[in-house]
């Protein structure tokens, strides 16, 4: 069975506070004078389910179009359950029990359960989300060379919440995992749809195809998993 693990791009969707969402404008519709339908879309590249490549927060880092195709096609994938609430960080200590799994896979989904707020309480989802702590980002990038990426079921690597310690600000959290400190990095898919994956699911393969637009640091990705 195949499943989408990315959210539809919705003009009514949730973006980082103050950032724009997708705009969709109809250009033509089928009628007697015009035989076709067409639209124009204006899409901020960090809106919706998207992959952060290093260039997002690392000036000399690789952009999404420079990543090898191995970052987008995966046979060894794991779902890790790491429950988190408002403004709570995923830490190195949260990840250490999964060390043996992380050594084997090329992609890991970190399911916190915070996705439930995306539709029920979008203001909480937008403003008070969890984050990937600096300790966790460095742990992943420094210790698991086969791990190409992780996916998270909350808005961003960093949280906009004022309750987060200053040392865990969005810049530090992004740079820690995207390679600023050592050059080794782990890509991250933010704002994934993980809620419908069954617990202890066996994932046969996972694809996260980006929009191949020249010049972008990062890109929306269409995420599809085959599960048993």
Q: What is the pLDDT along the chain (228 residues), one digit of tens a residue?
A: 999 999 999 999 999 999 999 999 999 999 999 999 999 999 999 999 999 999 999 999 999 999 999 999 999 999 999 999 999 999 999 999 999 999 999 999 999 999 999 999 999 999 999 999 999 999 999 999 999 999 999 999 999 999 999 999 999 999 999 999 999 999 999 999 999 999 999 999 999 999 999 999 999 999 999 999
pTM of the model: 0.97
Buried b (16+ CB within 10 A) or exposed e, 119-145: eeeeebbbbbbbbbbbbbbbbbbeebe
Using only C-alpha atoms, what is the Rg of the chain?
18
pLDDT at site 199: 93
**Quick one: CA dihedral 170, 111, 118, 40, positive or negative?**
positive
Q: What does the alpha-carbon distance between residue 198 and residue 167 come to, in Å, rounded to a whole number?
A: 35
């Amino acid at each position: 069975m195949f499943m989408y693990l990315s959210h539809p791009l919705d003009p009514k969707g949730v973006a980082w506070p103050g950032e724009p969402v997708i705009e969709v404008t109809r250009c033509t519709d089928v009628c007697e004078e015009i035989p076709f339908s067409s639209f124009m879309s204006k899409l901020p590249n960090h809106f919706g389910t998207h992959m952060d490549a290093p260039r997002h927060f690392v000036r000399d880092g690789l952009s999404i179009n420079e990543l090898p195709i191995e970052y987008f096609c995966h046979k060894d994938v794991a779902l890790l359950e790491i429950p988190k609430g408002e403004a709570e960080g995923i830490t190195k200590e949260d990840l250490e029990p999964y060390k043996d799994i992380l050594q084997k896979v090329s992609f890991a989904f970190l399911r916190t359960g915070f996705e439930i707020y995306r539709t029920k309480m979008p203001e909480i989802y937008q403003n008070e989300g969890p984050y990937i702590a600096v300790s966790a980002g460095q742990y992943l990038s420094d210790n698991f060379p086969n791990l190409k990426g992780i996916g998270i079921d909350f808005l961003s690597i960093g949280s906009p919440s004022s309750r987060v310690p200053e040392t865990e600000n969005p810049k530090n959290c992004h740079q820690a995992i995207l390679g600023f400190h050592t050059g080794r990095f782990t890509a991250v898919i933010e704002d994934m749809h993980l809620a419908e994956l069954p617990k202890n699911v066996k994932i046969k393969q996972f694809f996260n195809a980006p929009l191949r637009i020249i010049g972008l640091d990062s890109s929306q990705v269409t995420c599809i998993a085959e599960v048993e």
